[in-house]
């Protein structure tokens, strides 16, 4: 058994110093050895500038497509590969097409019982003379609702991407005034005659969607084109009297929610084998075919407002 | 090669148009031309679908004089599908053009190569 | 009718190829507009008048207008920024 040492004696032993150095409490060289005086590292501002300049020059050289051999080689390889790939794709598609059944014949897999059912029962079940309109707005109305929402979502995304803040908006308006036709007399005269005709033609296409070729999408696009012509001829001051952001919001809200409610009703009655209270009318009359006419009007309103909103947002980043 | 290449000339044209659009998408460096190439690809697909529904000697699916026999009209399903597709392609085009405008305000060029070199220079 | 369809399809291919090779962006957009018009005529031949109306209104009208207004916006941005390094390659 070792005897216990007093603390003062222990502090003089080698073991005490060794363990203190090991645990890092005290550095034995500190204050014992003469050290070189250390000074703070000063950066030479000119050298820093020179270094940055050299760095930029190197970057310019590296990323210059004319000088960078690697990039040049990559572009050449990319061109060659993509041309070979496209030729391969064209050959593959043509060989596949040569084995498909011939166009214009009847016995093809596309002409199955679904198309037969649409043609034979379409007039009776939907009341629409135009079978395509009856198909997209009655049998497959869910698809068309999704399509209207795609349009609405695209408008919102474009609005997010192109919206400007207050000062930028003023600048954009100034530059827009500089580039737009300044009270062009010929354009205004032509627009005075053409815009009502174009808009009436669009309304005709929408209202006759179930009787002939046309429908909500094409009629809405025609009305939107008429509005764009009016905007180009007379400027934003005139159109803001009847079309602002609020108009767009409410028109889209009411059209889409009307669409949802109407189709919910017809889905509910259809799924539960109930009799729908909406009359089909006589085929061929303008007030016929149940819900197709109001749905066409709703889709047409959404499309017309969307087209106008796209144009206005592209021109000055807002309505 | 199969037997029906000449009878299927419409589908063959749509395949060629698809490949032209795809080549545009791969090789053009200008963003707006890339978007036009994508639109050409869209049109090629629509043409293919419409050719699938076409039957020679029949008329458009609009009921005339109450005749509702299958022998009178072409297949209405591809028309409905393509009608949806055209409108969706317009909204896609508008979205891509607005992204192009954002890129131009940031990098002041429409050339995709220059945009990518500027991105690399910034170290991203 | 078949000959007319073949002529229209040839026009389609010519339009698509000349879009790829045109140097001027404005020309490319105009050629794409004519591409859409030829397409709408082809749809009349394929007995789909719904598609013809929609393509003529949407493809030839609205899409081209959006392309034009994008070009105009780009010109406007270019002229409001005085410190510019290089000319854009759209002319």
Give the pLDDT confidence score for residue A178 in this predicted structure: 62
Tens digit of pLDDT for each residue in A32-71?
777 777 778 877 888 888 988 888 888 777 777 667 777 7
Distance from the Cα of C13 to chain A's closest Cα (Å) equals 14
CB contact under 8 A, C62 and A225: yes
A146 pLDDT above the threshold of 50: yes
- Predicted local distance difference test score (pLDDT) of residue A101: 83
Mean pLDDT for chain B? Answer: 85
Under a CB-based contact definition with an 8 Å cutoff, are residues A288 and A127 in contact?
Answer: yes
pLDDT tens-digit profile of A214-237? 888 889 989 998 998 888 888 777
> A239 or A169, which is more confident?
A239
Domain ranges of chain B: 9-121
Burial of C32 per CB tally in 10 Å (0-12, 13-18, 19+): buried
Q: Provide the whole-model pTM.
A: 0.81
Those chains having 3 or more beta-carbon pairs within 8 angstroms of chain B are A, C
pLDDT for A107 beyond 60: yes
In this structure, are A69 and A146 located in the same domain?
no
| Chains in touch with C (≥3 Cβ pairs < 8 A) | A, B
Question: Are B109 and C86 within 8 A, CB to CB?
Answer: yes
Measure the CA–CA gap between A133 and A213, rounded to whole angstroms: 8
Domain of A309?
130-271+279-316
Coil vs helix vs strand at A63: coil
CB proximity list for A275: less than 8 A, separation 6 or greater: A269
Sort out which chain C residues have CB atoms less than 8 A from B16's CB and list them.
Answer: 13
- Chain B nearest-CA distance from A147, in A, is 7
* Chain A contact for B2 (CB, 8 A cutoff): yes
| Residue-level pLDDT at A311 | 87
Is residue A130 less than 8 Å (CB to CB) from chain C? Answer: yes
Which token pair is A149?
């929402």
Distances (CA, A) of B26 to A68, B29, B30: 21, 8, 11
Phi, psi at A266, each rounded to 5°:
-70, -30
Same domain, A93 and A137: no
**Over the stretch A259-289, which tens digit does the pLDDT of each residue have?**
889 888 888 887 787 777 777 777 777 777 7
Write the CA distances from C30 to B46, C16, C36, C62, C63, integer angstroms: 21, 12, 10, 13, 11
Domain that holds residue C24: 2-80
Degrees (nearest 5) of the Cα angle B12, B75, B37? 40
Residue C91 included in any domain: no
Contact A306, A312 (CB under 8 A): no
pLDDT at A317 over 50: yes
Q: How many domains does chain C have?
A: 1
- Give the burial string for A222-240 (b: 16+ CB within 10 Å, else e): bbbbbbbbbbbbbbbeebe
Give the integer Cα–Cα distance in Å for A126 and B17: 37
- Looking at residue A16, the DSSP 8-state letter turns out to be H
- Does the residue C70 lie in any domain? yes
Q: Is the torsion defined by CA of A207, A211, A214, A216 positive or negative? A: positive
User: DSSP assignment, residue A277?
Assistant: -
Give the model's pLDDT for residue C87: 46
For chain C, list residues with pLDDT below 70.
Answer: 80-91
Alpha carbon A132 to chain centroid distance?
28
- Report the C-alpha gap between C46 and B54 in whole angstroms: 6
Confidence of residue A179 (pLDDT cuts 50, 70, 90): low
| A239 or A303, which is more confident | A303
Select the residue of C47, C59, C78 nearest B86 (Cβ to Cβ).
C59
pLDDT the model gives residue A279: 74
- B29-52 pLDDT, tens per residue? 889 999 999 999 999 999 998 888
Confidence of residue B83 (pLDDT cuts 50, 70, 90): confident
Q: Is B111 on the interface with A (CB under 8 A)?
A: no
Q: What is the pLDDT of residue A45?
A: 84
Print the SS3 string covering chain C. Answer: CHHHHHHHHHHHHHHHHHHHHCCCHHHHHHHHHHHHHHHHHHHHHCCCHHHHHHHHHHHHHHHHHHHHHHHHHHHHHHHHCCCCCCCCCCC
Give me the mean pLDDT over the B63-80 stretch: 80
| Cα separation of the two ends of chain A | 96
| Whole-number Å distance between alpha carbons of B123 and C11 | 46
- Are A240 and A178 part of one and the same domain? yes
pLDDT tens-digit series, residues A282-299: 777 777 777 888 888 988
pLDDT for A177 equals: 64
A187 and A241 housed in the same domain: yes
Length of chain B: 124
Q: What percent of chain A has pLDDT over 90?
A: 9
Q: Which of A266, A260, A268, A267 is nearest to A299 (CA)?
A: A260
For residue B96, name the pLDDT band (cuts at 50, 70, 90). Answer: very high
**Structural domains counted in chain A:** 2
For chain C positions 48-77, those within 8 Å of chain A (CB to CB) are 48-50, 52-54, 57-58, 61-62, 65-66, 69-70, 72-73, 75-76
Q: What is the pLDDT of residue A319?
A: 63
Query: In this complex, which of A133, A225, A314 lies closest to C57 when CB atoms are compared?
Result: A225
**What CATH number labels B9-121?**
1.10.287.3510
């Amino acid at each position: 058994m070792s005897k216990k040492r007093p603390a003062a004696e222990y502090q003089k032993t080698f073991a005490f110093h060794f363990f203190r150095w090991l645990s890092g409490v005290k550095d034995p060289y500190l204050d014992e050895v003469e050290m070189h005086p250390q000074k703070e590292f000063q950066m030479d501002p000119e050298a820093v500038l020179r270094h940055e300049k050299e760095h930029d020059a190197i970057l310019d050289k590296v990323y210059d497509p004319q000088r960078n051999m690697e990039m040049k080689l990559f572009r050449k390889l990319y061109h060659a590969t993509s041309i070979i790939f496209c030729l391969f794709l064209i050959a593959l598609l043509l060989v596949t097409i040569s084995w498909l059944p011939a166009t214009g014949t009847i016995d093809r897999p596309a002409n199955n019982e679904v198309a037969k059912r649409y043609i034979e029962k379409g007039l009776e079940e939907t009341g629409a003379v135009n079978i395509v309109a009856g198909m997209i707005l009655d049998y497959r109305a869910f698809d068309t609702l999704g399509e209207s929402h795609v349009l609405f979502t695209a408008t919102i995304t474009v609005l997010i991407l192109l919206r400007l803040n207050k000062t930028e908006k003023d600048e954009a308006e100034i530059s827009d005034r500089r580039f737009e036709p300044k009270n062009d007399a010929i354009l205004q005269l032509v627009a005075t005659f053409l815009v009502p005709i174009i808009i009436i033609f669009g309304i005709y296409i929408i209202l006759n969607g179930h009787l002939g070729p046309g429908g909500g999408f094409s009629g809405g696009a025609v009305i939107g084109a008429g509005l764009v012509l009016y905007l180009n001829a007379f400027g934003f001051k005139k159109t803001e009297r009847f079309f602002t952001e609020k108009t767009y919001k409410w028109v889209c809200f009411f059209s889409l929610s009307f669409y949802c409610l109407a189709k919910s009703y017809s889905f509910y009655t259809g799924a539960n084998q109930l009799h729908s209270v909406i009359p089909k009318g006589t085929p061929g009359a303008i007030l016929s075919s149940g819900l197709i006419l109001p749905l066409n009007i709703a889709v047409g309103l959404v499309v017309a407002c969307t087209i106008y909103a796209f144009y206005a947002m592209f021109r000055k980043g807002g309505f | 090669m199969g037997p029906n290449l000449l009878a299927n000339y419409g589908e063959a044209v749509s395949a060629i148009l698809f490949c032209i659009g795809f080549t545009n998408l791969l090789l053009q460096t200008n963003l707006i031309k890339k978007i036009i190439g994508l639109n050409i690809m869209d049109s090629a697909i629509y043409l293919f679908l419409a050719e699938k529904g076409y039957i020679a000697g029949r008329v458009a699916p609009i009921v005339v004089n109450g005749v509702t026999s299958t022998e009178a009209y072409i297949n209405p399903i591809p028309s409905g599908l393509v009608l949806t597709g055209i409108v969706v392609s317009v909204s896609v085009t508008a979205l891509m053009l607005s992204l192009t405008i954002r890129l131009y305000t940031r990098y002041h060029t429409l050339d995709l190569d220059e945009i990518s070199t500027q991105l690399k220079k910034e170290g991203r | 009718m078949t000959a007319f369809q073949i002529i229209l399809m040839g026009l389609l291919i010519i339009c698509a190829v000349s879009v790829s090779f045109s140097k001027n962006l404005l020309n490319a957009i105009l050629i794409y507009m004519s591409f859409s018009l030829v397409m709408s005529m082809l749809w009349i031949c394929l007995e789909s008048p719904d598609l013809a109306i929609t393509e003529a209104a949407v493809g030839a009208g609205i899409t081209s207008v959006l392309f034009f207004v994008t070009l105009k916006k780009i010109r406007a941005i270019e002229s409001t920024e005085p410190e510019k390094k290089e000319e854009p390659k759209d002319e």
